[in-house]
Amino acid sequence: MDGSEIDSITRSLDDRKAMAEVIEARRDAEEQEPPELSIIPTPEFLPGGIVRCRCPRGCGFHYDVNPGLDAARERFRVVLPADPASTDVSDALTARAAARGDAQRARIESAIAEHYEEQHGAEPR
């Protein structure tokens, strides 16, 4: 066997492994729950880290969020066991990030819902 034959065999093994990973990822994705519906419109990302959510009806209303600045204002507290493993640290940081994300989402949804009620006399869909 020469070098080109070995390269060809190696490439075909890599291709099969990659395809198996793609198939497995697709199966995993199909088993996931669909994301929760939200009234938050597609945001714009502005300079300075600002995330802007505009009213989908085009009335001029927008709600700005600066996630980095908001995070800097919050106290950062992570609870770990006395002898934490790396998975404990990862799980604690992931839980903290998820909680911050949920709180931010709730603030944005509340602002959008309040705007709709005041300006459009309806609930956003």
Q: How far, in Å, CA of 21 to CA of 16, rounded? A: 9
Give the pLDDT of residue 24. 85
pLDDT tens-digit map of 32-49: 877 666 778 889 999 988
Q: Are 48 and 36 in contact (CB under 8 A)?
A: no
- For 94-119, how does the pLDDT look when each residue is reduced to its tens digit (9 = 90+)? 988 888 888 888 989 899 889 988 88
Instruction: List, in sequence order, the alpha helices (H) in the chain.
Output: 3-31, 67-73, 86-115
Give the start-to-end residue ranges of the domains of the chain: 1-32, 41-120
Residue 41: predicted pLDDT: 85
Residues 6+ apart with CB under 8 A from 105: 38, 40
Please report the pLDDT score of residue 13 as a whole number.
Answer: 59
pLDDT band at residue 2 using 50, 70 and 90 as cut-offs: low
What is the mean pLDDT of the segment spanning 10-25?
73
For residue 64, the 8-state DSSP code is: E
